Structure 1
Amino acid sequence: MDETLYVGTRKGLFTLRREGEHWSAVSSTPEFRGEPVSMVLQDPRDDVLYVALNLGHFGVKLWRRTPGDTEWTACAAPAFPAVGNDDAGSGEGGEGGGVADSDAPSVEQIWCLEASGADAPGELWAGTIPGGLFRSHDRGDTWTLVDTLWNLPERSEWMGGGYDHPGIHSICIDPRTSAHVTIGVSTGGVWTTRDSGATWRLAAAGMEADYMPPERRLDPNVQDVHRLVQCAGAPDAFWAQHHNGIFRTVDGGNHWRRIQAQPSSFGFAVAVHPDDPDLAWFVPAVKDECRMPVDGRLIVNRTRDGGETFTALTDGLPAEPAFDLIYRHGLSIDSGGRRLAMGSTTGGLWTSPDGGDHWHCVSAHFPPIYVVRFA
């Protein structure tokens, strides 16, 4: 049973513990105080905790803490290699995997961290802005750019959504085999590999980009996927919150179906039940000018039937007007599929013990929340 909730904010990392149905912060002072936490991961294989920081001018940092330790250990942060720099690594999956010194980008943010399965011990994946995918085989001591993805001709058409540069924000690892990885790109569609990154294929057929000219509306390489999640119990089923709506696939991304929901199909966050592929949660908002809840009313939309119908969940959420926006990683579900946690840009944090039927406000005064994750 999950008893710990990690909350990554603009001003540090808060750790919450649950007693009964009440959640409380372990300390009023966050770890990494004053530093923006862009991502958190507790590796389910060994319970090692990873925290990514976005320090702006000082770059990105990655820290690791093993169970029983009180101190954090600095890990290597993913970095783009330069041609001829053996120390930086030469990429993987192809020859000459670096990029020219004058053209080498900098990692602006670690936007996603995920752990492979038991069949790939020590293996971690990181998605970054700009749109790089990195892999570590040694629990974050070293990272290698997956250059087979970076060097795809199609990547030249990727573009930034809310950021200036495209980014990889979702990494889904098939529980049946860690060699099968599916990623979501904003803006660059959905890509998948079945051979640990040696080869890649687009998997966004059926998605629709209303912001593109008509002749490119269905182009899978220009789809702005805001968040991508996979059902662990039915790994061929994915949900995507897209700039132009909600999309679902039940065949591993071969075809996506567009789903309409009221009061809006726009948003950033999505969570799927770990065992039931038909059960998913979304947080609707207004696009593109406002980026706020529809009519100033914060709700969570839940579907139990694969998107045929939706129920608006509001019990315990703030009365209107409310202007909380939920970022991509601001909605999380626990391993049992019952408890939800949701954090907002205005520092609100809510938990639900019953799949969203009832919400409890843990605090309305956290710093802006970037990520919530159950242990």
Structure 2
Amino acid sequence: MTGVRVLVGTRKGAFILISDSQREQWDIHGPLFPGWEVFHIKGSPGNPDRLYVSQSNDWFGQVMQRSNDGGKTWETVGNKFIYAGTPDTHQWFDGSQHPREFKRVWKLEPSLTDPDTVYAGVEDAALFRSSDGGQSWQELSGLRQAKGHLWSPGAGGLCLHTILLDPGNPNRIITAISAAGSFRSDDGGQTWLPVNKGLQSNYELPDPSTEVGHCVHSITMHSAHPNVLFMQKHWDVMRSDNAGDSWYEISGNLPSDFGFAIAVHAHEPETIYVVPIKSDSEHYPPEGKLRVYRSRAGGNEWEALTHGLPQSNCYVNVLRSALAVDSLDPCGV
């Protein structure tokens, strides 16, 4: 398509926003699945008309949907997410072990090349893959072998919310879990390593050598530099230059280093965006001013972007999937 499409999941349903390259006027389609919480809606890079949706409802549970025509029509697909092998446990808030139970799909990530292959990150945390367009799902259970019994839920639950596919290495997958940390597979999801060296969570994890237990909120990468990762952690904005083997802080002059969302410019791999939130108990922008902060130096040096954003009495939150960029020139945020 010559313009831009924004796929939006809300507690009221899903919406599809379409504009031309000027992005001044938008056609809004929806709500789709009205009355349902849409945790994620994602299009296939290999076929933009192929869309996947994860919807959830307190009464009717979890439902997966697929569209083959850009959202004009939908069909229900497979919804059986069964953990492989003997059911295991994870750490609960009080440190005890708690049975792992499937609740919902948080994240969908279609293959970069095959529209029928799609990954799903779920709560309680695990990674599933479908190779038949979502009709059936198989767990990549090796992820839970990476000290899964020590993973504990964050405030939103024990959710696998980030899936990154390396465009230069089809065997590499990077995931992030709240509150367990980040993990990497270099063999297509069969085996996994925690990649959290350098992360600091002094209150929850006083031992700096602890491999899992960090509350990672989001990770992003630029396709041209897939070894460079940018992370918004519970506190701290972090960077890795070696695919997660080690991390260092780049929060710099941000007014708060707490937040949920992070994005990288489509054409400038060292330009990144975050939305600082006041704290983990006060989920709104500092001073009630909604500001997107941009670094053109890969972190540490940040400038506030405020034009068109409310600069007084704004007490909203911006969650991890609510910040995105398009591929047009100039890049839209």
Task: Say whether the fold is shared (TM-score over 0.5).
Answer: yes
What is the TM-score of this pair, normalised by structure 2?
0.90
Q: Which residue of 2 aligns with 1:116?
A: 111
Change (3 A) 1:17 1:203: same
Query: Any idea what SS the aligned residue of 1:148 has?
Result: helix
2:149 to 151, 156, 159: 156
Instruction: Work out whether residues 151 and 213 of structure 2, in 8 Å CA contact, stay in contact via their aligned partners in 1.
Output: yes
Q: Equivalent residue of 2:212, what SS?
A: helix
Deviations 1:263-293 (A, max 9, x none): 1111000001234331100000111221111
Shift of 1:122: 2.4
| 1:107 pairs with 2:107 | no
Name the counterpart of 2:187. Answer: 195
Shift of 1:170: 0.3
Residue 307 (structure 2) aligns with: 315
Moved more, 305-314 or 17-26: 17-26
User: How many residue pairs are counted as aligned between the two chains?
Assistant: 321
- Of 200-209 and 71-80, more deviation after overlay is shown by 71-80
Given candidates 273, 286, 289, the residue that maps to 2:278 is 286
The answer to whether 1:52 aligns with 2:54 is yes
SS of structure 2 residue aligned to 1:30: strand
After superposition, the Cα gap between the structure-2 partners of 1:109 and 1:241, relative to the gap in structure 1 and judged at 3 Å, is same
Deviations 1:48-104 (A, max 9, x none): 0111101123211110010277321111125124xxxxxxxxx4xxxxx2427xx97
Q: What is the rounded CA distance, in whole Å, between the counterparts of 1:301 and 1:4 in structure 2?
A: 23
Give the equivalent residue in structure 2 for 1:268: 260
Distance in 1 of aligned mates of 2:152 and 2:262: 22
Distance 1:218 1:2, change over 3 A: farther
Per-residue CA deviations over 1:133-174 (Å, capped at 9, x if unaligned) read 10111111110111111244x1111111122x4211000000
Moved over 4 A (4+): none
Q: Distance in 2 between matches of 1:202 and 1:248?
A: 16
Secondary structure of 2:227 counterpart: coil
Identity of aligned residues (%): 29
Give the RMSD, CA atoms, in angstroms: 2.1
Does the Cα contact within 8 Å between 1:245 and 1:266 map onto a contact in 2? yes
1:182-234 CA deviation, whole Å, 9 max, x = no partner?
Answer: 001111111000111111111111111132252x2442311110001111110
Normalised to the residue count of structure 1, the TM-score between the two structures is 0.80
> Does structure 2 retain, via aligned residues, the 8 Å contact 1:115–1:125?
yes
Indicate which of 136, 142, 145 corresponds to 2:136: 142
Residues 3 and 18 in structure 2, CA contact (< 8 A), matched pair in contact too:
no
In 1, distance between residues paired with 2:197 and 2:330?
32
2:92 paired residue number: none
Q: Map residues 62-77 of structure 1 onto 2, 5 A cutoff.
A: 62-67=64-69, 70-77=72-79
Structure 1 counterpart of 2:94? none
> Which secondary structure does the structure 2 equivalent of 1:221 belong to?
coil
- Contact 2:233/2:260, CA 8 A, preserved across alignment: yes
Paired residue secondary structure (2:132)? coil
Distance 1:244 1:210 in 2: 10
Q: Distance in 1 between matches of 2:247 and 2:195?
A: 9
Aligned mate of 1:183, from 146, 159, 175: 175
| AA partner of residue 127 (structure 1) | G
C-alpha distance in structure 1 between counterparts of 2:8 and 2:299, whole Å? 29
Q: Distance in 2 between matches of 1:39 and 1:121?
A: 17
Q: Do the aligned residues in 2 keep the contact of 1:331 with 1:340 (CA within 8 Å)? A: no
Question: Any stretches of 5+ residues in structure 2 without a counterpart?
Answer: 89-97
CA distance in 1, matches of 2:329, 2:192: 31
Structure 2 partner of 1:372: none
SS in 1 for 2:59: helix
Distance, in Å, in 2 between the alignment partners of 1:314 and 1:219 is 38
Determine helix, strand or coil for the equivalent of 2:324.
strand
Partner Cα distance (2:278, 2:330) in 1: 28
> Separation in 1 of the partners of 2:234 and 2:274?
13
Higher relative contact order (CA 8 A, sep 6+): 1
Separation of aligned partners in 1, 2:101 and 2:212: 23
